[in-house]
Amino acid sequence: MLVSGPGAPAVAKLDDLSGKKVNVRQASSYLESLNALNEKLGGASKPRVQIVTMPDALEDEDVLEMLNAGLFDFTVVDSRKAKLWAQTVPQIRMHEDIVLRSGERSVGRSASKAPNFKPRSKASTRTRASRGSSRPAWQTIRRNSARSRKAPRVRR
């Protein structure tokens, strides 16, 4: 989803990004989407989007906070993250009508439509405590993973 900051120029459609700077993380699918847009704009003899790559050490949330502070005008992030963070960083504007990539589904939505998908029953999601163990499941998982990292014992 395209997200703009407080001082960003107005955009009504995807082609309005032509010639504008858009900041995205280097190793992200958003960069691929912008490259595809640039190919489309180049084919239509329009100026390409000026892609400014951000360090991979930054998370999407960091980029949205920088956008909110007005450090740059546009970025592209996952729509779920944008909607969540729009409540926290009020200066950003989500452009839900401007679609960079269509046809994608999140794993949660598409998994339920998979042919072998079986929803968990309430009985299978009970806590370990209700099954007789006094230790929460996360402690057992952590304890077991720590054991598996240890070198095997050698008996003499």
Which helix (H) or strand (E) segment is 93 a member of?
Answer: strand 93-95
In a domain, 52, yes or no: yes
Mean pLDDT of 6-19: 92
Q: Is the pLDDT of residue 63 over 70?
A: yes
Q: How many CB atoms lie within 10 A of CB 89?
A: 17
Residue 9 is part of which domain span? 2-95
| Contact indicator for 88, 60 with CB cutoff of 8 Å | no
In a domain, 81, yes or no: yes
In a domain, 78, yes or no: yes
The number of CA neighbours under 13 Å toward the Cβ of 121 is: 2
Per residue in 13-56, pLDDT tens?
A: 999 999 999 999 988 888 999 999 999 999 999 999 999 999 98
Residue type, 149: R
In a domain, 149, yes or no: no
CATH number (domain holding residue 90): 3.40.190.10
